[in-house]
Structure 1
Amino acid sequence: MPPTQYKTFKAKEDDLFKQLLQKYLPFWPLYLLLVILFLAAAYIYGKITIPVYEAYSSVVIKDESKGLNESEMLQDLNLFRGKKLVENEIEILRSHSFISDVVNNLGLYADVMEEKKVQKAPAYLTSPIKLRFKDPTRIKKVEKIPFTFNRDARSVTIGKDNFPINQWVTTKWGEISFIPNYKYNGDTVTRNLYFLLYPSQAVQASLMNRIKVVPASKLATVINISIKDQVPDRAEDILNELVKVYTEAEIEDKNQRAASTVAMVENRIRSVAGQLDSVENEIQRYRTNTGVIDISTQGRQYLENVGQYDQQLEQIKNQIAVLNEVEKFIVQKESTSSGIIPSAVGVNDPALNQMLDKLNNTQLQFEKLKRTTGENSPILVNLKEEIETLKPGILENIRNQKINLNITRNSIASTGNRYSAMLSTIPQKEKQLIEISRQQAIKNQLYAFLLEKREEAALSFTSTNKGDTRIIDKAYSSVQPVSPNKFLLYLAALVVALGAGIVWVSLKEGLNKKILFRSELEKLSPIPVEGEILYDSSKDPFIVRNEVGSRVSGQLKSLRNKLFFGANNKQVKKVIITSASRGEGKAYIGSNLAISLAMTNARVVLVDLDFYSHEISSLYELDSAKGMVEYLRGGASLGALLHTDKTTSGLSILPVGATNDGTAEWLMSGKLEGLIKELDASFDYIVIVGPAFSDDVNIQALSHIADASLFVIRQGVTSKADLTMLLYNGHMEALKNPGYVFNAVKGRGWGIRMFGNGYGYGNNPGK
Structure 2
Amino acid sequence: MDIQPNNNAAFTILEDDNANLKQEFNKYLRQWPWFVFALIIALASAYLYVRYAPRIYETSAKIKILDESEGLELPTSAFIFKRKNINLENEMEIIRSYQLLEKVAKRLKLNTVFFEEGTIQTAQIAELPFEYQQLVEPESIEKVSSYAIEIEKETIKITDLKTNQVYNRSHVTEVETDSLLPFSVAVNNQLSYDESAGKRYTVYLGPLKKATLALRAQLSVESVGDVSDLLKLTIRGESRLRSERILNTLLQVFNNDGIKDRQLVSQRTLDFIDDRFIYLAEELDSIEVDRKEFKQRNNLIDLSTDAELGLQLRSRSDDKVFEIESQIALVEVLKNSIVTDEEGKLIPEDVGLQNRNVNSLIGEYNQAVLDKDKLISSGGGGINNPTVQLTKARIKDLTSNITKSLESYYKQLELSQSQLRSRNRELSGTVAQIPKKEKLLRAIERQQTIKESLYLLLLQKREEAAINLAITEPSIKVVDFALSSSAPKTPKPNVIYAASILGGFLVPFGVLFIIFMFDTKIHEKDDIVKLNNKIPIIAEIPDINKKEKTLFEDPNDRSVLAESFRILSSNVNYLIPLTDSDDGKVIYCTSTIKGEGKTFISINLSLALSSMNKKVLLIGADLRNPQIHTHTKFDKNTVGLSDYLNDKSIDWQSNLVKGFDNHPNHDILLSGNIPPNPTSLLTNWRYEDLINQAKKIYDYVIVDTAPTILVTDTMLISKFADVTVYIARANFTDKKILTFSDDLFKTGKLNNMAFVINGVGASKSYGYGYNYGYGYGYGSKEQT
Contact kept, 8 Å, 1:578 with 1:586, in 2: the verdict is yes
Letter of the aligned partner of 1:609 in structure 2? A
Q: Confirm or deny that 1:243 pairs with 2:251.
A: yes
Deviation larger for 442-451 or 516-525: 516-525
Instruction: For 1:36-435, list aligned pairs within 5 A.
Output: 36-62=40-66, 69-72=70-73, 85-125=87-127, 127-136=129-138, 137-148=140-151, 159-161=167-169, 169-172=177-180, 174=182, 176=183, 188=195, 190-200=197-207, 201-303=209-311, 306=314, 418-435=426-443
Quick one: which amino acid aligns to residue 673 of structure 2? D
Most deviating of 281-290 and 589-598: 589-598
Q: How many Å apart are 1:54 and its aligned residue?
A: 0.6
Instruction: Give per-residue Cα distances to partners, 1:479-523, cap 9 Å, x unaligned.
Output: 110000111111111111111221232244444464335565567
Residues 681 and 307 of structure 1, relative CA distance in 2, 3 Å threshold: farther
1:656 aligns with 2:670: yes
Q: Deviations over 1:404-425 (max 9, x none)?
A: 9999999988876554332111
The equivalent residue for 1:578 is 590
3-state SS in 1 of match to 2:31? helix
Which stretch shifts more, 192-201 or 589-598? 589-598
Tell me, in whole angstroms, the C-alpha distance in 1 between the residues paired with 2:96 and 2:89.
11
Flag the 1:524–1:63 CA change in 2: closer, same or farther, 3 A: farther
Q: Distance in 1 between matches of 2:45 and 2:443?
A: 95
Q: 476, 498, 504: which is aligned to 2:511?
A: 504
Q: What is the aligned partner in structure 2 of residue 741 from structure 1?
A: 756
Change (3 A) 1:667 1:414: closer
Q: Which residue number corresponds to residue 540 of structure 2?
A: 533
Aligned in 2, Cα 1:116/1:599: closer, same or farther, shift over 3 Å?
Answer: closer
1:531·1:741 contact (CA, 8 Å) conserved in 2?
Answer: yes
Contact 1:667–1:702 (8 Å) recurs in 2: no
- The alignment's TM-score, normalised by the length of structure 1, stands at 0.72
Residue 576 (structure 2) pairs with residue 564 (structure 1): yes
Q: What is the CA-CA distance between 1:56 and the residue it aligns to?
A: 0.4
Aligned-partner SS, 2:587: strand
* SS in structure 1 of the partner of residue 482 of structure 2: strand
Q: Is the 8 A contact 1:664 1:698 kept in 2?
A: no
**Residues paired across the two proteins, number:** 686
Q: Which piece of structure 1 moves more, 455-464 or 588-597?
A: 588-597
Is 2:730 aligned against 1:715?
yes
2:454 pairs, out of 433, 446, 449, with 446
SS at the partner of 2:30? helix
Closer, same or farther: CA 516–156 of 1 in aligned 2, 3 Å: closer
CA deviation vs aligned residue, 1:6-57 (integer Å, no higher than 9, x gap): x999989877764553332333343233223211221122111221101001
What's the offset of the Cα at 1:574? Answer: 3.0
Task: Give a deviation string over 1:305-353, Cα, whole Å, max 9, x none.
Answer: 645766798899999999999xx99xx9xxxxxxxx99999x9xxxxxx
Counterpart residue identity of residue 73, structure 2: E
> Are the equivalent residues in 2 in contact too, given 1:28–1:749 (CA < 8 A)?
no
- Cα distance in 2 for partners of 1:10, 1:258 equals 82
Which letter maps to 2:702?
V
For the Cα contact (< 8 Å) 1:594–1:606, is it kept in 2? Answer: yes
- 1:485 maps to 492
Deviations 1:237-267 (A, max 9, x none): 1111222222223333333333333212211
Q: Percent identity?
A: 23
Q: What do the CA deviations read for 1:278-323 (whole angstroms, capped 9, x no partner)?
A: 1111111111111113324432453466457667988999999999
Shift, 1:94, TM fit = 1.7
Contact 1:147–1:159 (Cα < 8 Å) also in 2: no
The 1:577/1:471 distance shift into structure 2, 3 A limit, reads: same
Computed over aligned residues only, the root mean square deviation of the Cα atoms, in angstroms, reads 5.6
Q: Which residue in 2 is equivalent to 1:641?
A: 656
Q: CA deviation at 1:212?
A: 1.1
- Partner SS for 2:134: strand
- Tell me the CA shift for residue 133 of structure 1: 4.9
Q: Which amino acid aligns with 1:50?
A: P
Unpaired segments ≥5 residues, structure 1: 76-82, 333-340, 348-375, 377-398, 751-767
Cα deviation, residue 277, structure 1: 0.7
2:25 to 4, 21, 28: 21
Between the aligned partners of 1:295 and 1:115, the Cα distance in structure 2 is 96
* Cα drift, residue 729 of structure 1: 12
**By how many angstroms is 1:208 displaced?**
1.6
Equivalent-residue separation in structure 2 for 1:72 and 1:408 (angstroms): 75
**What is the SS of the residue equivalent to 2:58?**
strand
Could you tell me how far 1:190 is from its partner in structure 2? 2.1
Secondary structure of 1:134's partner?
A: coil
- In the superposition, the TM-score normalised over structure 2's length comes to 0.70
CA contact (8 A) 1:212 1:225 kept: yes
- 1:677 aligned partner: 692
Alignment equivalent of 2:465, drawn from 449, 457, 471: 457
User: Partners in 1 of 2:640 and 2:87 — Cα distance?
Assistant: 101
Deviation at 1:168, TM superposition (A): 8.5
How far 1:749 moved relative to its partner? 8.6
Answer yes or no: is 1:469 the counterpart of 2:476: yes
Q: Distance in 1 between matches of 2:19 and 2:319?
A: 129
Aligned to 1:362: none
Q: Secondary structure at the match of 1:680?
A: helix
Unaligned ranges ≥5, structure 2: 77-84, 160-165, 341-347, 355-377, 379-405, 766-784
Tell me how far apart the structure 1 counterparts of residues 315 and 747 of structure 2 sit (CA, whole Å). 143
Structure 1 residue 577: deviation in Å? 1.3
Which shows bigger deviation, 52-61 or 477-486?
52-61
User: 1:219, 1:469 → 2: CA distance?
Assistant: 17
Indicate conservation of the 8 Å contact 2:678/2:713, yes or no: no
One-letter amino acid of the counterpart of residue 46, structure 1: V
